[in-house]
Amino acid sequence: MAQQPVSSSQLETLLTDGLYLKFPAVGDVVTGTVINTGRREIRLDLSGIATGVVRGKELFAESSQYTGIKEGEQVEATVIGLENENGEIELSFRFAGQQKAWDDVRRLFTTGETVETKIVEANKGGLIVRLNNITGFIPVSQLSPDHYPRVSGGDKNKIFEKLKSYVDMKMSVRVIDVNEADEKLIVSEKAVWEDTQKNVISQYKVGDKIEGEITALADFGAFVKFDALEGLVHISEIAWQRIDHPRDILKIGQTVQAQIIGLEGSKIFLSMKKLVHDPWESVSERYKVGDIVKGKVLKVNPFGFFVELDPEIHGLAHVSELSDKPVTDVEQIGKEGETLDFRIVSIEPNEHRLGLSIKAINQPLEVPTQDAPDAPIIE
């Protein structure tokens, strides 16, 4: 049967609606079929409308979609010129690939999918990565505990050296912030780690006792690894007595026992001292207000001395208790490591405080007075 000719009214409708022939404009993303490939150029058939060519630097795209293109495949490209010297439309994979790459990372952000990325560079704030050929960043705060640079004193140069050791390493990350306009891509290793820990953490509760290994020591405490988890023992929870630094009584690799005292998301807070007897509960059996005792000066501060009476009980000799005269330099009274005589002037077991005095040694001891008994009545 012969095909009926298209009426002038039908043709007019097609052209008016723009459905019969829509010629692309510069900046449009078009889809074409690969008709031939070469080392320096690739030609596309743009739905029979025209032939497009991608050549030179426009072949190199951020998206991996454009690697290994073969004849017959359909690919997207961006129009950068309507006619070249051969009457072809000039196209770019570079711009289309960049858009495709950003679309992919936006999808990763939306889905929360975990992806593997390679560390390409480090700076003092974190690690530079390449994800879908887009440059991204892992801030130090978004590293997992295994890679977080715990450096005593927070030395920035040492932190930087630790971060540089991760270059060329592969990490599993999650996209947590993406903004194409600002060319900002932030990824997190910590977010992936937290998800893997949720099921394990759910097996524990506050009050549970754990045994683990000291993995790192910092000014503020010690990190303990147990059952693929890691918790923090704050310096105030290591021992009942005052310590200057966790390394004074702990070392990396040491096995310790602790009690869980807090769970906040992926954060686990531990206490070692809660598993040992509190020596302050029996302090009144060893020491009394008014006793003259010998104590070793552990630390000298402008406000006084921290003093060790025994390995478990430490006290404070305030600067106002060091001499009858004004003290301008506490080291004129005593130095760190010296053993001096003190009088105990106060004991507060519940607050774990014991007050000491040097000036009170030669002063009469004030004993609380008691009401005298009533005198007998003489008639």
Cα(63)–Cα(80) distance, rounded to whole angstroms? 18
Question: Are residue 259 and residue 308 in the same domain, yes or no?
Answer: no
Q: Are residues 258 and 329 in the same domain?
A: no
Do 152 and 217 fall within a single domain? no
Q: What are phi and psi of 331, to 5 degrees?
A: -70, -10
Kindly state whether residues 265 and 234 are assigned to the same domain: yes
Residue 144 inside a domain? The answer is yes
Number of domains the chain is built from: 4
Q: Where are the alpha helices (DSSP H) in 148-289?
A: 156-164, 190-201, 283-286
pLDDT tens by residue, the chain, 379 residues: 444 454 455 445 544 555 445 678 887 888 889 998 887 888 999 887 888 998 877 777 555 566 778 888 888 888 888 888 888 999 887 776 677 778 888 999 999 999 999 999 999 899 999 887 788 999 999 998 888 887 766 678 888 999 999 999 999 999 999 998 888 999 999 999 888 887 788 889 999 999 999 988 888 999 999 987 889 999 999 998 888 889 889 999 999 999 999 998 778 999 999 999 899 999 989 999 999 999 999 989 888 999 999 988 999 999 999 988 888 888 888 999 999 999 999 999 988 999 999 999 887 766 544 444 443 433 3
Q: Return the structure tokens found at 18.
A: 């723009």
| Shared domain check, 300 and 269 | no
Judge if 247 and 312 occupy the same domain.
no
Pairwise CA distance, residues 105 & 135, whole Å: 11
φ/ψ of residue 277, rounded to 5: -60, 135
51 part of a folded domain = yes
Which of 253, 275, 297 is a domain's end point? 275
Identity of the residue numbered 369: T
Other Cβ atoms closer than 10 A to 149: 19
- Whether 69 is in a domain gets the answer yes
Q: For the domain that residue 53 is a member of, what is the CATH number?
A: 2.40.50.140
Torsion, Cα 206 209 214 215, to 10 degrees, reads -50
95 in the same domain as 36: yes
| Structure-token match 């937290």, residue found | 194
Is residue 322 domain-resident?
yes
Question: What is the structure's pLDDT at 6?
Answer: 46
Q: Is 127 inside a domain boundary?
A: yes
Beta-strand runs (E) in 47-103: 50-55, 74-81, 89-92
**Which pLDDT score is estimated for 63?**
53
pLDDT at 16: 54
pTM above 0.75, yes or no: no
Q: What are phi and psi of 362, to 5 degrees?
A: -95, 10
Say which amino acid occupies 342. F
Domain that holds residue 330: 279-362
Could you tell me if residue 10 is inside a domain? no
Is 249:195 a contact under the CB 8 Å cutoff? no
DSSP state of 289: T
Residue 299 is inside which H or E element, if any? strand 292-301
Of 149, 174, 194, the position where a domain reaches its end is 194
Q: Where is the domain boundary, 259, 275, 291?
A: 275
Residues 284 and 264 in one domain: no
The answer to whether residues 295 and 352 belong to one domain is yes
β-bridge pairing 339-348 and 314-318? unpaired
Give the residue carrying structure tokens 């207000």. Answer: 289
Give residue 251's region: left, alpha or beta (phi > 0; psi -120 to 50): beta
Tokens 């993406």 map to which residue?
178
Both 128 and 186 in one domain: the answer is yes
pLDDT for residue 269: 96
Q: Of 142, 147, 141, nearest to 173 (Cα)?
A: 142
Residue 104 located in a structural domain: no
- Domain assignment present for residue 299? The answer is yes
Is the domain of 33 the same as that of 88? yes
| 289, 354: one domain | yes
| Cα–Cα separations (whole angstroms), residue 379 to 372, 375, 376 | 21, 12, 10
Q: What is the spatial distance between Cα 354 and Cα 321, in angstroms, rounded to a whole number?
A: 13
Please give the pLDDT value at position 101: 79
